[in-house]
Amino acid sequence: MRFVSLMFVCLCLSSAAVAVSAQDENTLSADSERQTDVPQGEIKGPYTWHSKVFPGTEREYWIYVPAQYGASKPTCVFVVQDGLRRAEGWRVPIVLDNLIHKGEVPVQIGIFISPGVVPAPHENAQPRFNRSFEYDGLGDAYVRFLLEEILPEVEKDYNISHDPNDRAIAGASSGAICAFTAAWERPNEFRRVFSTIGTYVGLRGGDVYPTLVRKYEPKPIRIFLQDGRNDLNLYGGSWWVANQSMLSALQFAGYDVNHAWGTGGHDARQGTAVLPDALRWLWRDYPEPIIAGHSANRRTDILIPGEGWELVSEGHRFTEGPAVNSEGEVFFTDIPNNRIHKIDSDGQVTVFVEDSPGVNGLMFSRNGSLYACQNGNKQIVRYNSQGNEESVVENAPCNDLIVLRRGGYYTDPANKKVWYVDRDGIRTLVDEGIERPNGIIASPDQTLLLVSDTAGRFVYSFQIQPDGSLKHKQKYGHLHIPDDVLQSGADGMTVDTEGRVYVTTRVGLQVLDQLGRVHLILDKPQDAWLSNVVFGGPNLDTLYVTCGDKVYRRKVKATGVVPWQSPQPPPKPRL
């Protein structure tokens, strides 16, 4: 059955919000009142759950089963934070009874979950209350709790859908940011979010969301926001301002977003009143899938609508070191298997070198030789077009390298060093002290050397001197890091004709402008270590990334620069 929104819903809930009086904004519609001719669903529970994701915690949850539920096909899911109290405060069971009966939302199982508590050890002690930790914190812990513990438990008795378009999640206050975080971290699991009086403020880092929403490529999420201008204004920030910032960011980034602003405070009155219309809007056009939007306002606009990561090669153990030759063909390494592979112009993958111990970073030179960090033998080698090997630098533990016209540089992470090798093979230490120097690349004009720090959050910039030495070391590129670690995981890098730097990190492929500011973050193609990146293809307009055991590519509106070309001055940056 196809569900479509009603015309009055579209008019009332368009992104151009209609002003209403304080009395009207809290008035409940008939959809929030019990109707005598509407079949009633059943609330089952409470059930007690002891979590492994949140060790030591216990909590209760309830299940709403609509009268129309049938086990013959997978059923949609609606998860609500803060348990039955929140769900009944919003009148969720009544609203779902009415809207399902009228065919305005699909049949769905409700799961109402309380936050965890670590019980007190004795009567004179307090429990440890986990609500803020679970709800306000960023990262994927809570959504993993849902996916690994609660949903599988519910699925033992009910046929619930695994399609992310069939799953909605909701919450108020800290429960709201929790709902958004679940969809943000796993849009392949949840895509419809109802957020009221959301705590997108500086309690546990949630104030960064408006910035992240603007910088990440859009995710396939549909979200409804609600707040009132008299919401909290505390040490963590202004809830009212933060929710408006979220709306602005979501609109900027091209999300399917709607909102209801009012005059209320940190309470559930307006959220309860708008719930029926919000659910109709969230489920409109079901079962059409929710797709990612597109921002037309980005200063760094390299995304092509409809173009995503495409699998190029798989079946490896750990891929690294992509390098491109003058024909646009891409070579990469499989470190544990000691192999170098080649991706030709037709996308065919073959083995280029069968036995290169611990081979890691690769880079072509101007004459077509392929240089490689052969870390298994602690040396740098080069290969001719037939794959014949020649040692270049011995006793050189190395991770990544770059070959320029007058010599090359390589990183030695274990010893916190960066080395220069001139055209005669003479090696010079040019920097030490970066915690874990890893990826290395030059600016398009080849006047600056950039070195990533896997253990930190910065990309270092040096000015290259005529004799190959480095000056003016600076923590230049400022990277985003995950909430649960202090290390960016910055690894391989590449650059384009605009002087932008592309850095592989834990959170994705971060694109920095010439001034070292992240403009855009591309999602990782899979949940694995994103180790390196290069522009490839005959026009150097396709990004190739090595990620875990696979290699992916993605066409973008940018053109790469490779070191074997002549220096290319980039345009003057916008300050």
Q: Which CATH number do you get for residue 370? A: 2.120.10.30
Statement to judge: residues 400 and 344 lie in one domain: yes
Q: Tell me, yes or no, whether 568 lies in a domain.
A: no
> What's the confidence (pLDDT) of residue 380?
97
Q: Which residues contact 262 (CB under 8 A, 6 or more apart)?
A: 20, 22, 25, 26, 226, 227, 228, 229, 270
The overall pTM is greater than 0.85:
yes
Statement to judge: residues 189 and 324 lie in one domain: no
Q: Tell me, yes or no, whether 21 lies in a domain.
A: no
CB 309 within 8 A of CB 554: yes
Q: Vertex 558, ends 555 and 561: CA angle to 5°?
A: 110
Last residue of a domain, one of 258, 282, 306: 282
Q: Tell me, yes or no, whether 22 lies in a domain.
A: no
> What's the confidence (pLDDT) of residue 1?
39
Closest residue by Cα to residue 402 from 510, 540, 498, 494? 494
Statement to judge: residues 511 and 422 lie in one domain: yes
> What's the confidence (pLDDT) of residue 15?
44
Statement to judge: residues 95 and 177 lie in one domain: yes
Prior bond of 46 cis (ω within 30°): yes
Domain residues for the domain of 524 are 314-561
Please tell me whether residue 177 adopts helix, strand or coil conformation: helix
Q: Residue 438: in which H helix or E strand, if any?
A: strand 437-442
Instruction: Compute the distance between CA of residue 221 and CA of residue 476 in angstroms, rounded to an integer.
Output: 33
Q: Tell me, yes or no, whether 209 lies in a domain.
A: yes
Statement to judge: residues 347 and 403 lie in one domain: yes
Residue 121 tokens, joined: 């050890």
What Å distances lie between residue 234 and 30, 242, 261, CA to CA? 36, 12, 20
Q: State the amino acid at position 569 in one-letter form.
A: P
Q: Tell me, yes or no, whether 97 lies in a domain.
A: yes
Statement to judge: residues 179 and 230 lie in one domain: yes
> What's the confidence (pLDDT) of residue 2?
40
Please tell me whether residue 380 adopts helix, strand or coil conformation: strand
Statement to judge: residues 380 and 510 lie in one domain: yes
Q: What is the length of the chain?
A: 575
| Strands across the sheet containing 319-324 | 319-324, 330-334, 339-343, 349-353
Q: Which residues contact 49 (CB under 8 A, 6 or more apart)?
A: 58, 59, 60, 61, 149, 150, 153
Statement to judge: residues 276 and 381 lie in one domain: no
Statement to judge: residues 354 and 272 lie in one domain: no
Which contacts (CB < 8 Å, 24+ apart) does range 155-159 have?
158/63, 158/65, 158/69, 158/71, 158/75, 158/109, 159/71, 159/72, 159/73, 159/74, 159/75
Strands (E), 185-300: 192-196, 222-228, 233-234, 237-238, 256-262
What number of other Cβ atoms are within 10 A of residue 477's Cβ? Answer: 26
> What's the confidence (pLDDT) of residue 23?
58
> What's the confidence (pLDDT) of residue 6?
37
> Could you give phi then psi for residue 277, rounded to 5 degrees?
-70, -35
Q: State the amino acid at position 122 in one-letter form.
A: H
CB 90 within 8 A of CB 273: no
Instruction: Compute the distance between CA of residue 209 and CA of residue 496 in angstroms, rounded to an integer.
Output: 28
State the total domains in the chain: 2
Instruction: Supply the CATH number for residue 54's domain.
Output: 3.40.50.1820
The single-letter DSSP state of residue 181 is H
> What's the confidence (pLDDT) of residue 299?
87
> What's the confidence (pLDDT) of residue 296?
79
Q: Residue 212: in which H helix or E strand, if any?
A: helix 209-215
Q: Tell me, yes or no, whether 569 lies in a domain.
A: no
Statement to judge: residues 267 and 402 lie in one domain: no
Give me the tens of pLDDT residue by residue for the chain, a chain 575 residues long: 344 333 333 434 444 453 445 558 999 999 999 999 999 999 999 999 999 999 999 999 999 999 999 999 999 999 999 999 999 999 999 999 999 999 999 999 999 999 999 999 999 999 999 999 999 999 999 999 999 999 999 999 999 999 999 999 999 999 999 999 999 999 999 999 999 999 999 999 999 999 999 999 999 999 999 999 999 999 999 999 999 999 999 999 999 999 999 999 999 999 999 999 999 999 999 999 999 998 878 889 999 999 999 999 999 999 999 999 999 999 999 999 999 999 999 999 999 999 999 999 999 999 999 999 999 999 999 999 999 999 999 999 999 999 998 899 999 999 999 999 999 999 999 999 999 999 999 999 999 999 999 999 999 999 999 999 999 999 999 999 998 889 999 999 999 999 999 999 999 999 999 999 999 999 999 999 999 999 999 999 999 999 999 999 999 999 999 998 889 999 998 88
Prior bond of 276 cis (ω within 30°): no
Q: Residue 129: in which H helix or E strand, if any?
A: strand 128-129
Q: State the amino acid at position 436 in one-letter form.
A: R
CB 334 within 8 A of CB 317: yes
Statement to judge: residues 262 and 327 lie in one domain: no
Q: Tell me, yes or no, whether 29 lies in a domain.
A: no
Instruction: Convert 420-455 to b/e letters by CB count within 10 Å (16 or more is b).
Output: bbeeeeebeebbeebebbbbbbbbbebebbbbbbbb
Rg (CA), the chain: 27
Residue 205 tokens, joined: 């880092």
What Å distances lie between residue 21 and 9, 157, 275, 525, 536, CA to CA? 18, 45, 18, 47, 58
Instruction: Compute the distance between CA of residue 457 and CA of residue 476 in angstroms, rounded to an integer.
Output: 10
Statement to judge: residues 524 and 467 lie in one domain: yes
Q: Tell me, yes or no, whether 3 lies in a domain.
A: no
CB 109 within 8 A of CB 75: yes
